[in-house]
Amino acid sequence: MLNSTLIQPIHRTTLSNGMVVLVTENPTADIIAARIFIRAGSRWEDPTRAGLNHLLSAVLTKGTQTLSSLEIAEQVESVGASLSTDSTTDYFLLSLKSVSADFAEVLELAAELLRSPTFPAAELELERRLTLQAIRSQQEQPFTVAFDQLRSHMYGDHPYALSGLGTEATVTQITRDDLLAFHQTHFRPDNVIISLAGRIPPETAIALVEKVFGDWVPPATSLPTLQLPEIVSTPSCRAIGQETQQSIVMLGYLAPAIVDTSATAQQAPTASTHPNYATLKLINTHLGNGLSSRLFVELREKRGLAYEVSAFYTTRLDQAQFVAYMGTAPENTAIALEGLQTEIDRLRTVALTDLELQAAKNKILGQYALGKQTNAQIAQTYGWYETLGLGADFDVDFQAQIAATTPAQILSVAEEYFIRPYISLVGPSSAVEEVARIV
Amino acid sequence: MIRFRNPVHLSSLLVTPEIARVSLTVLDNGLTVIHQQTVATSVASVDVWVRAGAVREPDDWCGMAHFLEHMIFKGSDRLPPGVFDREVEFRGGVTNAATSYDYAHYFITTAVQYLDATLPYLAEILLNAAIPDNEFDRERDVVLEEIRQSYDSPDCVAFQVLSETVYQNHPYGRPILGTEDHLLQLTPAAMRTFHRSYYQPENMTVVVVGNLSQSEAIHLIERHFHTFPEPVACPYWAMDAEPPITQIRRQEIAMPRLEQARLLMAWLGPGLDSTLQSMDEQLHNAYGLDVLSVLLAEGRTSRLIWELREDRNLVQAVSSGFSLQRDSGLFTINAWLDPDNLERVEAIICDRLSELATAPVTAAELHRCQRLLCNDFAFSTETPGQLAGLYGYYSLFAHPELVTPYPQRIRAIQADDLQRLTSQYLSPYHYAATVVRPLE
């Protein structure tokens, strides 16, 4: 197998203001990448302000007390660096990358953006308009239409129900005061993790982060807490008719969060992984990942029903999704649905052979190692685990959990979660509505 | 399996001083091997590039090169369908392939110790593809799904219309995937002819990047890429030279379910096959066009993004790229925008090109573009897979040792080069435009 621990060990430090610093020294290339995580993201949004994190991320880089939007961009681009912001369901992210010599300068700029953005009103209006257009444009893609339908059906009132962009109604309502308030609540050093990887010794990196962020004082208030609506399981089939060339057929199941949120686990001093997380990742690999996966072989190779057929299991702080999907000719909609369902049901009744299990383990562990090659990938992986509360050790634990999984565990986990799917269909009305009625 | 266009700014090669251990060897059978040892990683990549892209297709075999790429994975007489995929993935590796106009390529990325075990399978399916009759019809259904999926993507459809508008004679104007009508006429026998004709050592480059020595790499390749099929003659397409664009060629289409309009503009750029210019001059011009695309539309401070998106709020997004191809490169500017702004944005873009042709850019602006491109290059050469892809792509055009380092070449570009290239290639009066509007 690939050796995924060839890189130097990770150095972890907590500054006196509570900010966590992770450093992975990797002298291979003259590059440093950093990922700065804030424990925010769309799960922290008020439902009437859905899309706030996305809008905040777009406007954050467009003005500070001392710099205009143009000046900020000039600072980054004149040294050929990259600096971008992003928000996901579970965290807010600022990513930067530069050649080693320019890194300190770019990091200083990143700190100024995170600590003292001004959210200029004109920039907010510009990004709001662009976001509203982006929300409409997403509807051009049949896959997105199908996934939106599935997600909103599965999550109901939970913030995971929406794409990070929010809706036209909520984005229209977000004010500059909303951005300022959210920033003040969540952007504080004891809520921030910075993860660096590249050609920089750990002591140099820590001194640099200390210099740039060390005087950022956390507010006296305690960190925000979150009360989210319960996710209630109500699986059924929904269809949207539109005149596309292909039908999209999608099955979704509620699946465990990565972190164990059971009462006993929550009393433990540190977070632990949900016991079924690794097993479901392994099931996902076997079922829908790669050219030798079960869905690919059975539905594409043997039956020619699809070009794209795949599965994914999201990694989330709250209840996640396990999804299998394909695009197929409209006249094959029913056959495709039955094919996907049959392969998933088979996981509940027929144990994987030793060879199948070994293949899935090798595949997921190999791909896991291949996903940690660049400095940006390394910084992302360790920073994310820290943000989730699992710590960088999860890197090793996860691989051990995969290696220890048995066929019996796979059967029982499949039986527990793959009971009745949420189904989302998108395609010509004549094809999908009839199928939805029968289901 | 995926349709692939080259990444815009890495459209060309590139050897930097840091990665100087790149070697190129031509084996006795005519096969080219490019190798680089990367000691700091346990990952290795092999990427096989074949000059057997869509340009090799006779007109009525449109879609053949890409369909063949799918059929390669159906194995040989000795290797049933699916075995290759399983062997690679069982060892934690990944494999895939892509087809474009000038090439098809096939790669494996895996732990270096498994190259011995997986590479023979890749060689076997590439050299001895069986193209079994019974798999042919089924896999054609898969390709037909791929075509349907592309028809559901407005950007794919728009780019195809643009290509047809730009290239009226040259096969660069054809759809790489073909069409349903074309595919239904293809036969396994014709595909075998295409394969036996073009999957020959003189058309192939095998790139190996990972922690193995040059002699180990060459030994490995010599052993497995040894016996090629007996070559057969294949009908070919007598390419006419593409005439220059002498006016504004405009195509307008309307699409259902469209939420915003698209404006695609294209200019013919230099290729790398000219007999009138040295390779050096051609590369210099190609890289100059890379710089121009950055100057126009990469980063918030670039001219078009600043003016059209940030300052005047006329577009959702605007992008530009130069895609280097063997016979003629393509310079494009694309905008996503409200239909009401289509004419205005097109006029502004033309104005800005006129300005570029008459007034030199400032040193600071040129420097910004050069830094961005040089760093993009550094950021895109971190892994064996990225490096192998880059060398393989470049091998289609020239020999690495002929080329001075990419960053050095980028830094050699002067303000007056940009002015000259704009007047020579990016005329505001001679270009192709595709406009896509929402269907009323």
Whether A102 and A180 map to the same domain: the answer is yes
Give the per-residue pLDDT at A1.
53
**Separation between Cα atoms, residue A272 and residue A260, nearest integer Å:** 6
B89: nearest CB among A69, A130, A291: A291
Whether A106 and A205 map to the same domain: the answer is yes
Give the per-residue pLDDT at B5.
30
Whether B148 and B253 map to the same domain: the answer is no
User: Among residues A180, A213, A246, which one ends one of the domains?
Assistant: A213
Whether A117 and A247 map to the same domain: the answer is no
Give the per-residue pLDDT at A261.
80
Cβ contacts of B3 within 8 Å, gap of 6 or more = B66, B98, B99, B100, B146, B150, B176, B177
User: A398 near A273, Cβ under 8 Å?
Assistant: yes
Q: What is the CATH number of the domain that holds A129?
A: 3.30.830.10
**Separation between Cα atoms, residue B207 and residue B15, nearest integer Å:** 14
Other C-beta atoms lying within 10 Å of the C-beta of residue A83: 21
**Cα angle: B53, vertex B58, B61; to 5 degrees:** 80
User: B81 near B121, Cβ under 8 Å?
Assistant: no
Q: Has residue A312 been placed in a domain?
A: yes
Residue in chain B lying closest to A367 (CA): B92
Whether A290 and A244 map to the same domain: the answer is yes
Give the per-residue pLDDT at B405.
77
Whether B46 and B171 map to the same domain: the answer is yes
Q: What is the CATH number of the domain that holds B397?
A: 3.30.830.10
Taking an 8 Å cut-off on Cβ atoms, the answer to whether A80 and B336 are in contact is: no
Whether B345 and B204 map to the same domain: the answer is no
User: B220 near B208, Cβ under 8 Å?
Assistant: yes
The total number of structural domains in chain B stands at 2
Whether A27 and A63 map to the same domain: the answer is yes
Q: Which domain holds residue B265?
A: 248-438
**Separation between Cα atoms, residue B254 and residue B342, nearest integer Å:** 14
B145: nearest CB among A79, A307, A359: A307
Half-sphere exposure (Cβ direction) of B261: Cα atoms closer than 13 Å: 22
Half-sphere exposure (Cβ direction) of B316: Cα atoms closer than 13 Å: 21
A301: nearest CB among B81, B260, B364: B81
Give, for all 439 residues of chain A, the pLDDT tens digit: 555 444 568 999 999 999 999 999 999 899 999 999 999 999 999 999 999 999 999 999 999 999 999 999 999 999 999 999 999 999 999 999 999 999 999 999 999 999 999 999 999 999 999 999 999 999 999 999 999 999 999 999 999 999 999 999 999 999 999 999 999 999 999 999 999 999 999 999 999 999 999 999 999 999 999 999 999 999 999 999 999 999 999 999 999 999 998 777 777 777 889 999 999 999 999 999 999 999 999 999 999 999 999 999 999 999 999 999 999 999 999 999 999 999 999 999 999 999 999 999 999 999 999 999 999 999 999 999 999 999 989 999 999 999 999 999 999 999 999 999 999 999 999 999 999 998 8
Q: Has residue B241 been placed in a domain?
A: no
Q: How far is CA B57 from the centre of its chain?
A: 17
Q: Which domain holds residue A122?
A: 10-213
Q: A258: closest CA among A321, A322, A317?
A: A317
Tokens of A102: 């320019």
Whether B74 and B126 map to the same domain: the answer is yes
Give the per-residue pLDDT at B394.
85
User: B364 near A80, Cβ under 8 Å?
Assistant: no
Distance from CA of B74 to the nearest CA of A (A): 9
**Residue the block writes with tokens 């300022």:** A180
Residue in chain A lying closest to B365 (CA): A78
Taking an 8 Å cut-off on Cβ atoms, the answer to whether A30 and B18 are in contact is: yes
List residues bridging with B204 in a β-sheet.
B50
Q: Has residue A224 been placed in a domain?
A: no
Q: Has residue A1 been placed in a domain?
A: no
Q: Has residue B47 been placed in a domain?
A: yes
- φ, ψ of residue A425 to 5 degrees: the values are -120, 140
Give the per-residue pLDDT at A286.
98
- Torsion angle of the four alpha carbons B140, B141, B145, B146, in this order, in degrees rounded to the nearest 10: -20
Other C-beta atoms lying within 10 Å of the C-beta of residue B104: 26
Taking an 8 Å cut-off on Cβ atoms, the answer to whether A28 and B40 are in contact is: yes
Whether B292 and B434 map to the same domain: the answer is yes
**Cα angle: B47, vertex A295, A163; to 5 degrees:** 90
Residues of B in contact with A301 (CB under 8 A): 81-82, 138
Q: What is the DSSP string of B162-180?
A: HHHHH-SSSGGGS-TT--H
| Environment class of A304 (CB within 10 Å of its CB; exposed 0-12, middle 13-18, buried 19+) | buried
For an interface test with B, the pick among A70, A97, A109, A292 (most B C-beta atoms closer than 10 Å) comes out as A292
Whether A178 and A272 map to the same domain: the answer is no
Taking phi over 0 as left and psi of -120 to 50 as alpha, with beta for the rest, A235 belongs to: beta
Give the per-residue pLDDT at B400.
57
**Separation between Cα atoms, residue B44 and residue A297, nearest integer Å:** 26
Whether B364 and B268 map to the same domain: the answer is yes
B316: nearest CB among A98, A133, A328: A133
Reduce the DSSP state of residue B97 to 3 states and report it: strand
Residues 288 through 347 of chain B touching chain A, CB cutoff 8 Å: 299-301, 306, 309-310, 313, 316, 336
Q: Is the Cα torsion angle A243, A244, A249, A250 positive or negative in sign?
A: negative
- H/E run at residue B409: helix B406-411
Whether the CB of B102 is below 8 Å from some CB of chain A: the reply is no
Contacts 24+ apart (CB under 8 A), A167-170: A167/A50, A167/A51, A167/A135, A168/A132, A168/A135, A168/A136, A170/A47, A170/A48, A170/A49, A170/A50, A170/A51
Q: Which of the residues in chain B have pLDDT under 70?
A: 1-20, 398-404
- Torsion angle of the four alpha carbons B303, A127, A133, A145, in this order, in degrees rounded to the nearest 10: 120
Whether the CB of B237 is below 8 Å from some CB of chain A: the reply is no
Whether B189 and B295 map to the same domain: the answer is no
Q: Has residue A45 been placed in a domain?
A: yes
Whether B202 and B264 map to the same domain: the answer is no
The total number of structural domains in chain A stands at 2
Q: What is the DSSP string of A264-279?
A: HHHHSSS--B-TTHHH
Q: What is the 3-state secondary structure (H, E, C) of B339-385?
A: HHHHHHHHHHHHHHHHHHHHCCCCHHHHHHHHHHHHHHHHHCCCCHH
Whether B92 and B35 map to the same domain: the answer is yes
**Separation between Cα atoms, residue B315 and residue B435, nearest integer Å:** 14
Whether A181 and A263 map to the same domain: the answer is no
Residues of B in contact with A129 (CB under 8 A): 313
Taking an 8 Å cut-off on Cβ atoms, the answer to whether A140 and B154 are in contact is: yes
Give the per-residue pLDDT at B13.
41
Q: What is the DSSP string of A185-197?
A: HH-SGGGEEEEEE
Taking an 8 Å cut-off on Cβ atoms, the answer to whether B151 and A245 are in contact is: yes
Q: B198: closest CA among B129, B107, B98?
A: B129
Q: Has residue A395 been placed in a domain?
A: yes
